[in-house]
C-alpha cells in the first residue's frame, strides 16, 4: 500500500527531434531574401527579426534554442549580417553532436 503513494519518480529524458534541413535552409533563405531589396530590405529585417528569433527558439528549444534565438535576432537586426545561415549552422551542430549508438564488439 505504501508503494502506491510514495513511488520514486525516475527522471525521464525527452529527446527532441531534429528539425528538417529543408526547413532550416528555407528559414535562412527567407532571412537572406531581404538583401534583394536595396534599402527597404533593412526595414523588412525589423519585422522579420523577432519572428525569426521566435521560430528559432520553438524549433530548437531549450537553452540552445534561446541563445540561438537571441543571436538570430541580433544577426537579423544588424545591417549586412543577413548572409549568416544561423538555422543551418545550428542544424549542423545538432546533427553532428548527436550521440551515435555504440558499436558492440564480440570477443573471440
Secondary structure (3-state) at 18: coil
pLDDT recorded at residue 79: 82
Task: Note the pLDDT tens digit of each residue in 59-99.
Answer: 998 888 999 999 999 998 888 788 899 999 999 999 988 76
3-state helix, strand, coil in the chain (%, to 5): 65, 0, 35
Give the model's pLDDT for residue 1.
Answer: 56
Alpha-carbon distance of 27 to 35, in angstroms, equals 14
Task: Round to whole Å and give the CA distance between 98 and 100.
Answer: 6
At 19-45, the pLDDT tens digits run 889 999 999 999 888 878 877 878 888
* Three-state secondary structure call for residue 80: coil
pLDDT of residue 34: 81
Cβ burial, residue 77 (10 Å; 0-12/13-18/19+): middle
Longest dimension (CA), the chain: 72
Q: Model pTM greater than 0.85?
A: no
Amino acid at each position: 500500500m505504501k508503494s502506491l503513494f510514495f513511488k520514486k519518480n525516475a527522471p525521464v529524458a525527452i529527446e527532441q527531434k531534429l528539425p528538417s534541413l529543408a526547413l532550416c535552409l528555407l528559414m535562412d533563405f527567407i532571412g537572406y531574401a531581404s538583401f534583394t531589396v536595396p534599402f527597404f530590405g533593412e526595414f523588412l529585417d525589423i519585422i522579420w527579426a523577432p519572428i525569426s528569433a521566435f521560430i528559432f527558439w520553438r524549433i530548437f528549444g531549450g537553452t540552445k534554442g534561446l541563445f540561438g534565438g537571441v543571436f538570430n535576432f541580433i544577426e537579423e537586426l544588424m545591417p549586412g549580417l543577413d548572409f549568416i545561415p544561423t538555422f543551418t549552422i545550428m542544424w549542423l551542430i545538432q546533427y553532428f553532436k548527436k550521440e551515435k549508438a555504440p558499436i558492440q564488439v564480440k570477443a573471440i
